[in-house]
Amino acid sequence: MIKKTMLGVAITLSIVGCSDWLKVDPVDSTLEDWVYATENNTQIALNGIYLKMANTPLYGQDLTNRAVEILAQRYAVPANTSSSNKLRYYMNSYAYSDQVVTNNLLEIWTEAYSTILNINYFIKKLNATEGIIPQSRKEIMLGEAHGLRAFIHFDMLRLFGPVYVTDSTALSIPYYNEPITETQPRETANTIMDKIFTDIETSLEYLKNDPVITEGAMVYASEDSLSVSQLEINEFYRFRNRRMNYYAVSTFKARALLYREDKAAALALALALLNDSKLSEHFPWVTRAQVALTNKEDRIASPEVLFGIHSPYMYSVWDNNFSPGLGSSVFTGSTQTNVNYAFDVSSSGQLSTSTDYRALNWANYSIDATYMTSYKFAKTTITTNNWNYQPLIRKTELYYIIAEVQNDIEYIDQVRVNRGLKKVSEAKTSVNVTTELLLENMREFQGEGQLFFYYKRRNQKTIRSGNLTSGTSNVTMDATKYVLPIPQVEIDN
């Protein structure tokens, strides 16, 4: 671990226009005893953890739309090592020993474990409080914290750990569940998974009375839209889809079970969640009208997001990386050939007329005859919708888990129909679940960091090249590319 990591969350952001659910004072909210003297200060400390997760080395960029998407060959990367392209070039080439990549991986590792350290302090201090916070609210915050600790460790394992399906007993990462700064020993991947599930089960127990179960996400522009029962809930405990809530942790558990190859348990949990009428009621399918609404397009399909984090840098990250005005030398985009492939069309003209809601994020956004960009995370003209949060868990993942485990096209069809598409059997002459799962992962999780982990979990031997401009071309994959090197400073300590 990084021994000089600050034992706290130093928040210097001034969050303009945010309500209590994401209130953070523009001061150093160090996690010391005085913070826990009031419920308000405790809430500020937890909010600081969420905002730290949104920093660019984590879910504000590298673990969503940059590093892991480059590894998945999402983008076309120019064959040059100029300063503006160097990281993309070497990351895209899986040249992990190059200094620019080494530095980037160290940033990811350091920020992740620094955040985990803050979570551990939060859990310890909150557990020690008595009579300050009502027990029901205290349990919700503890449930969120345990869920977040499991979530970040899981992504560190997915990134730096072995290809689990072939080498689950290989040495992987350390697991920190106490607020200590001394370097802890790395453990085998299956041992880390056991600890992740311990945190998941603890989280679910604390969240068994999460208001999301009865009241939903409680996302609103005005309190006038809330019900009487929702108004009775403290504002901090609303906006449940921006926090690690009961349904998010449950779906995360299904994700982790599938990763561990416990397919029967993953299937049973995914089916149980989709059969939960409350989940369907509280997280309905987005409509084409919502996605296409001029000037306030819901490009992230927000009603379906089970968990996402407020991302203060979302729009600036898009402006600095994906804006067509940057030009092809700086611009991070995809080839039209690959976008057309993902959306099952033969030309960009067909893409612009596709009935798939997700195609609206791409259609007509080419920078030339070769490259395209997605407007999924671009700022809308009307910015009062609070959509600048990064999706991390979607309900559609449950459908994909069931489809994969049961080899059942029906669950892919359910997603397709709710994306404006025909069922596979109606659109194609042959049905292949594996092919359709890959296409769905390409379309559904663009900019959300899941595609590389999909490839790695399945130990896919070849993946489609990001630089493909015609025909077919694949990149050969193996453990040397799937397993990222743990920073040397961690090994030396």
φ, ψ for residue 30 (rounded to 5)?
-65, 140
Considering all CA atoms of the chain, what is the largest pairwise distance in Å, rounded to the nearest integer?
Answer: 66
Of 55-69, 228-242, 471-485, give the lowest mean pLDDT range: 228-242
pLDDT band for 414, please (50, 70, 90 cuts): very high
Number of Cβ atoms within 10 Å of the Cβ of 79: 9
Total residues found in the chain within this entry:
493
Contact 446, 74 (CB under 8 A): yes
Query: When comparing pLDDT for 373 and 11, which is higher?
Result: 373
Q: Where are the beta strands (DSSP E) in 5-109?
A: 8-10, 28-30
**pTM recorded for the entire structure:** 0.93
What mean pLDDT is predicted for residues 352-367?
A: 81
Enclosing H/E stretch for 10: strand 8-10
Res 16 pLDDT > 80: no
Q: In whole numbers, what is the pLDDT of the chain averaged over residues?
A: 89
pLDDT band for 36, please (50, 70, 90 cuts): confident
pLDDT cut 70: percent of the chain above it: 89
In terms of pLDDT, which residue wins out, 377 or 30?
377
CA distance 477 to 399: 27
For residue 418, give the amino acid letter: N
Nearest residue to 480 via CA among 162, 191, 219: 162
- DSSP letter, residue 188: B
* Higher pLDDT, residue 456 or 10: 456
φ, ψ dihedrals at 367, nearest 5°: -100, -15
Mean pLDDT of 84-105: 95
Q: Is the pLDDT of residue 21 over 70?
A: no
Lookup: tokens for 130: 């008595």
- Cβ-contact 78, 328 below 8 angstroms: yes
Given a cut of 50, whether residue 9 has pLDDT beyond it is: no
Give the residue among 471, 418, 465 at the shortest CA–CA distance from 440. Answer: 418
Nearest to 84 by CA among 332, 315, 317: 332
Give the pLDDT confidence score for residue 24 in this predicted structure. 45
**CATH annotation of 29-320+379-394+445-490:** 1.25.40.390
Q: Where are the domains of the chain?
A: 29-320+379-394+445-490
Q: 371 falls in which pLDDT band (50, 70, 90)?
A: confident
Instruction: Give mean pLDDT, residues 48-65.
Output: 97
Contact 248, 147 (CB under 8 A): yes
Could you tell me which residues come within 8 angstroms of residue 334 by beta carbon, excluding any fewer than 6 positions away? Answer: 74, 75, 76, 371, 372, 373, 374, 466
Q: Which of 71-80, 154-163, 224-233 has the highest mean pLDDT?
A: 154-163
CA pair distance 99, 307, nearest whole angstrom: 34
Confidence of residue 452 (pLDDT cuts 50, 70, 90): very high
Among 194, 201, 191, which residue's Cα sits nearest to residue 146? 201
pLDDT for 28 beyond 80: no
At residue 10 the predicted structure's pLDDT band, cuts being 50, 70 and 90, is very low
- Assess contact for 25 and 10: CB atoms under 8 A: no
